[in-house]
Structure 1
Amino acid sequence: MAHLSFTGHDLDRDDHTRADPERLAAMRARGDARLLVLDGLLPQLDEHGLVISDLSGIGDDTELVYLGLRGGAPLFVQVPPEGDMRQAVTLRETMLALMRLDPAELAMFGGARSVADWHARHRFCARCGGHTQIAKGGWQRNCTSCEGQHFPRVDPVAIMLVENEGDLLMGRGKGWPDRAYSALAGFIEPGESIEEGVVREVLEEVGVKVRDVSYIASQPWPFPSQLMIGCHGFTDNRELTIDYTEIEDARWFTRAEVAEAMENGRHAESFIPPLPTAIASYMLTWWLEQD
């Protein structure tokens, strides 16, 4: 099986340092301390990969997240200044640019982007509206008014392959490139198990009831901060009732069509498959390998 993108970082997250202000300050002051450079939330790349610099020019009041130790050296990322959340290119363009990174760098960028984005969107307390300030090396924000504590969140998303008599059900979202199809997906709601979320989402989007849901794999997805939970299930009903407010289209594909698409990518005749960096691509490969 192919490697799952955004997994396999090479960081020692060094949690004990996060909770110790003196050790954090010492890490920041080290001569070998490094900064993962972002432009807003966009990756900065050179011929070697991600741009990483020293901390020269970074003021003491600049909000930095301590990502951990990389090769023994402290690594930080800056929280975007207020109002600087640049995302001038599409997600697809960003993903195509990131595909040349090695797995560890891609995973490192994903985690850094997610936590930097969370900080930029949580400068005010959800409980009282007061200002928050960075704490625990960037893995917490504390309210300066009510002393509320806030932590970076991860939103669980079920993404599922639905099978019937050897064929696979997939859909396409609004605004996707022509002929592009992927696995159905949706957020897990409060009070649901993963399996219940799969059943509900498929029923809402295409009107079929899924049974025998099983887990395939998971992937952190940093746009902004989801945990994609890959699942597989079966249905006894092939008749689709598509909710066009949710998706643009859905249809059944044969095993031969899926195999052809995965082999030929955007030049495929059957449909354009997900980018290799998406868990849906991993899931389709997994499905094709099942007897």
Structure 2
Amino acid sequence: MRIAETVTFGGSGLDRAAHLRGDGAALARLLAGGRVLPLWRGKPLMQGDDLGWLAADSPVLAGAGAAVFLGLDDGVARFAQDISDWSPEAGAAGVEAGFFDASEQRHPALDDSFVFLELRGVMVQLSPRAAELAATAKAVLHWHRSHGFCAACGAPSVMAQGGWQRDCPACGTHHFPRTDPVVIMLVTRGNRVLVGRNAAWPEGMYSLLAGFVEPGETLEAAVRREVFEEAGVRVGAVRYLASQPWPFPASLMFGCAGEALDEAITLDPNELEDALWVSREEMVTAMAGLHPRLKPARKGAIAHFLIANWLADRLD
């Protein structure tokens, strides 16, 4: 797919400067003169329509976890730090439960132009570079928070290599950031596309079927298995279209096109609340927000990207 890297979180070409990750002295110099993105419980700091970058000596970062080196952005060193242990002031909006957290948090050391926001809500307004930096920061910092102990011996592990590794002092095992491969499928039959919905999603929201790739499985096999398990539809030819890093919390979405061999749906209620075939005409209406029943996948998600390009005949 020629425009694959125009998907949200993809294709900015950040220089990750991996050769610097093991040079502690160089990273210290870069941090002193670079910029840091704080994240609070997975929410990046925003300033207007851009990320909220701070100097390394900002009081916001006092007591934060070690800085993760994201890379060089046109010569500017970019880092991220987790400040999840900070507690918002009494009376500040708390984190909301559910599919999307619309709450906002402001730090007393910053003016009101700075606010911590859910990345899902701001991802489409970010530039490709800012989106890649935010996705990388969110995914890597989540990995550190959830992998503080060695999987080999259970001892506490420590951050290394500029945040791109954790080492176990007890047994010497090295651990690396995890990314989970997920297939997401644009399954079509003639003029129609197969969509489904999870019971936890907002009312009326439908998206493409998706699922994790299992050990020993190809992407093509995962597409066929997941579609059959969830909707009882057999898929024939499968081809890869595009990928998207999806830091919720740490997946890599592989967008694929599949040709359905039949259309009868046998729903697995443990996987989906509903699944149905939608014509191009209906999907155009849904994407415009005018369908009486269907709401499309959120803008910025690869499902929305694939459906929009299917409608525009731009899957080549």
Whether TM exceeds 0.5 here: the answer is yes
Q: 1:176 aligns with which of 160, 180, 201?
A: 201
Q: Is the 8 A contact 1:258 1:270 kept in 2?
A: no
C-alpha distance in structure 2 between counterparts of 1:9 and 1:36, whole Å: 18
Q: Is the 8 A contact 1:42 1:87 kept in 2?
A: no
The farther-off stretch of 71-80 and 196-205 is 71-80
Indicate how the Cα distance of structure 1 residues 270 and 40 shifts in structure 2: closer, same or farther if over 3 A, else same. Answer: closer
Indicate how the Cα distance of structure 1 residues 201 and 251 shifts in structure 2: closer, same or farther if over 3 A, else same. Answer: same
Q: Is the 8 A contact 1:133 1:142 kept in 2?
A: yes
C-alpha distance in structure 2 between counterparts of 1:71 and 1:141, whole Å: 28
Indicate how the Cα distance of structure 1 residues 280 and 100 shifts in structure 2: closer, same or farther if over 3 A, else same. Answer: same
Q: How many angstroms does 1:290 deviate by?
A: 2.8
**Which residue of 1 is the match for residue 78 of structure 2?**
75
Alignment partner of 1:99: what SS? helix
Moved over 6 A (4+): none
- Asked whether 1:21 is paired with 2:24, we answer yes
Q: How many angstroms does 1:163 deviate by?
A: 1.3
Alignment partner of 1:44: what SS? strand
| Number of equivalenced pairs | 286
Q: How many angstroms does 1:71 deviate by?
A: 2.8
C-alpha distance in structure 2 between counterparts of 1:276 and 1:121, whole Å: 28
Same amino acid, percent of matched pairs: 39
Deviations 1:245-279, CA, capped at 9 Å, x for gaps: 011100011111112212x13x4335111112000
Deviations 1:18-64, CA, capped at 9 Å, x for gaps: 02222222323x3x221112122112212252111001145699411
C-alpha distance in structure 1 between counterparts of 2:214 and 2:85, whole Å: 30
**Which residue of 2 is the match for residue 47 of structure 1?**
48
**Which residue of 2 is the match for residue 207 of structure 1?**
232
Q: Is the 8 A contact 2:65 2:83 kept in 1?
A: no
The farther-off stretch of 143-152 and 173-182 is 173-182
**Which residue of 2 is the match for residue 220 of structure 1?**
245
Q: How many angstroms does 1:161 deviate by?
A: 1.4
Indicate how the Cα distance of structure 1 residues 272 and 81 shifts in structure 2: closer, same or farther if over 3 A, else same. Answer: closer
Q: Which runs of 5+ in 1 are unaligned?
A: none
| One-letter amino acid of the structure 2 residue matched with residue 283 of structure 1 | L
- When the two chains are superposed, the root-mean-square deviation of aligned CA atoms in Å is 2.3
Deviations 1:68-108, CA, capped at 9 Å, x for gaps: 11231221111455798x96465534322333222321221
- Counting only pairs closer than 5 Å after superposition, residues 131-142 of structure 1 correspond to structure 2 as 131-142=156-167
- Asked whether 1:284 is paired with 2:307, we answer yes
| One-letter amino acid of the structure 2 residue matched with residue 156 of structure 1 | P
Indicate how the Cα distance of structure 1 residues 100 and 206 shifts in structure 2: closer, same or farther if over 3 A, else same. Answer: same
C-alpha distance in structure 2 between counterparts of 1:110 and 1:147, whole Å: 29
Alignment partner of 1:233: what SS? strand
Q: 1:115 aligns with which of 99, 115, 140?
A: 140
**Which residue of 2 is the match for residue 8 of structure 1?**
11
| One-letter amino acid of the structure 2 residue matched with residue 46 of structure 1 | Q
Indicate how the Cα distance of structure 1 residues 144 and 82 shifts in structure 2: closer, same or farther if over 3 A, else same. Answer: farther
Deviations 1:92-142, CA, capped at 9 Å, x for gaps: 343223332223212210111000100111110011000100000000000
Alignment partner of 1:11: what SS? coil
Could you tell me the TM-score, scaled by structure 1's length? 0.91
C-alpha distance in structure 2 between counterparts of 1:48 and 1:160, whole Å: 31
Q: 2:189 aligns with which of 143, 164, 183?
A: 164
**Which residue of 2 is the match for residue 249 of structure 1?**
274
| One-letter amino acid of the structure 2 residue matched with residue 51 of structure 1 | G
Q: Is the 8 A contact 1:172 1:247 kept in 2?
A: yes
C-alpha distance in structure 2 between counterparts of 1:60 and 1:47, whole Å: 26
Q: Is the 8 A contact 1:82 1:120 kept in 2?
A: no
C-alpha distance in structure 2 between counterparts of 1:87 and 1:194, whole Å: 36
Q: How many angstroms does 1:180 deviate by?
A: 1.2
Indicate how the Cα distance of structure 1 residues 10 and 196 shifts in structure 2: closer, same or farther if over 3 A, else same. Answer: closer
Alignment partner of 2:201: what SS? coil
Q: Which runs of 5+ in 2 are unaligned?
A: 88-93, 103-117
- Asked whether 1:240 is paired with 2:243, we answer no
